[in-house]
Amino acid sequence: MEPSTSNDEPAQSSYPIDPEQTAELARLMQQDRLVTEAMGGLFPEGQSLPPDGQVLDLACGPGGWAMQVAFTYPSVEVIGVDLSPGVIDYARAQARSRRLTNVAFAVMDIRQPLTFADASFDLINGRFLFSFMTPTAWSALLAECRRLLKPGGIIRLTETEGPLTTSPATERLFALGYAALKRAGQSFSPDGNHIGITPVLPRLLRRAGFEEVRLHASAAEWSLETPLHYAFFKDEMVALELSLPFLSKMGMGSEEELRRLYQQAVAEMQADDFCALWTWLTVWGRRPG
């Protein structure tokens, strides 16, 4: 299946970070590997892919998860779609450098109808879509996923409420980020104190007509002196720094105040008594048929 280059002219990105920054591209590639490993693999919930199956990765970013699937399942065809042309160009270059011929990438806005035929895919994956989706956009996306799945096909979505740490400055920056998402209209939280996607995600799938909706929770510890500390610390350090302009734009503080808070967070995440967890919830369901 060869994807077309785009659907209708994509809308402006609502992702809080400029995704085409080199630091963000590198961070997302590393984060894909980290999260997949910490979750226990590509499909720790036990889903299976048929020979010659078709997989769609929503908002694929630089393509880390899609390329991992393509490498692990060479008889399966994987397509990743993302809003950013620069990010898709990067993903294509990465796939070529790894000589992966069973993965393709296309520029598409998943908040709009996608240019694939009905019943095209055996599995549709999405990870951390909360970062740009609005509550009202979810029903249309899930209806589109149901259209694109073959009868019996699986939708699989992984979301989070963010990390938990013992760092006051880091927790403050997370709280400002959640409040900024609420102010931007990109949160299910009633008060902006968290993201709010995980409690509602199972119901969203059921209301979209998916059956056998199930949950799988996973977590990674990245406290100081644990094997994952540096990798997740680096991920959060880059993500928090790149999100400072978004926080300032949404009125969460001046650039100087936010920069000082960020520097304090970086120091605290390297302190001897620093403890941290990051938890994820994967929700999946099956198209009837």
> What pLDDT band is residue 289 in, cutting at 50, 70 and 90?
confident
Q: What is the per-residue pLDDT for 10?
A: 46
Residue 196 lies in a domain: yes
Q: Domains in the chain: how many in total?
A: 1
Residue 17 lies in a domain: no
Question: Residue 113: pLDDT above 80?
Answer: yes
Give the sign of the dihedral formed by CA 200, CA 134, CA 187, CA 129: positive
**Pair of tokens at residue 152:** 């019996």
Name the region of 226 (left: φ>0; alpha: ψ -120 to 50; beta: rest): beta
Residue 5 lies in a domain: no
Find the domain containing 82 and state its range.
22-286
Residue 2 lies in a domain: no
Residue 3 lies in a domain: no
The radius of gyration computed from the CA coordinates of the chain, to the nearest angstrom, equals: 19
**Average pLDDT, stretch 260-281?**
98
- Strand segments, DSSP code E, in the chain are 54-58, 77-82, 103-107, 121-127, 149-159, 163-165, 211-221, 276-286
Beta bridge partners of 280: 218
Rounded Cα–Cα distance for residues 158 and 128 (Å): 6
- Measure CA 127 to chain center: 3
Q: Which residues contact 175 (CB under 8 A, 6 or more apart)?
A: 193
pTM of the model: 0.94
pLDDT tens for each residue of 232-252: 999 999 999 999 999 999 999
> What pLDDT band is residue 120 in, cutting at 50, 70 and 90?
very high
CB hemisphere CA count around 86 (13 angstroms): 8
Question: Residue 11: pLDDT above 80?
Answer: no
Q: What is the per-residue pLDDT for 22?
A: 93
Residues 101, 92: contact at Cβ < 8 Å?
no
- DSSP 8-class letter at 12: P
Rounded Cα–Cα distance for residues 248 and 255 (Å): 6
pLDDT tens for each residue of 130-184: 999 999 999 999 999 999 999 999 999 999 999 999 999 999 999 999 999 999 9
Rounded Cα–Cα distance for residues 260 and 283 (Å): 37
Report the alpha-carbon angle 25-73-216, nearest 5: 70
Rounded Cα–Cα distance for residues 223 and 102 (Å): 38
Question: Residue 181 maps to which CATH number?
Answer: 3.40.50.150
pLDDT tens for each residue of 65-90: 999 999 999 999 999 999 999 999 99
Q: What is the per-residue pLDDT for 13?
A: 82
pLDDT tens for each residue of 14-63: 898 998 899 999 999 999 999 999 999 999 999 999 999 999 999 999 99
Residue 122 lies in a domain: yes
Question: Residue 4: pLDDT above 70?
Answer: no
The whole-chain average pLDDT of the chain stands at 95
Residue 69 lies in a domain: yes
**Pair of tokens at residue 282:** 């994967």
Q: What is the per-residue pLDDT for 12?
A: 79
Q: What is the per-residue pLDDT for 1?
A: 57
Residue 42 lies in a domain: yes
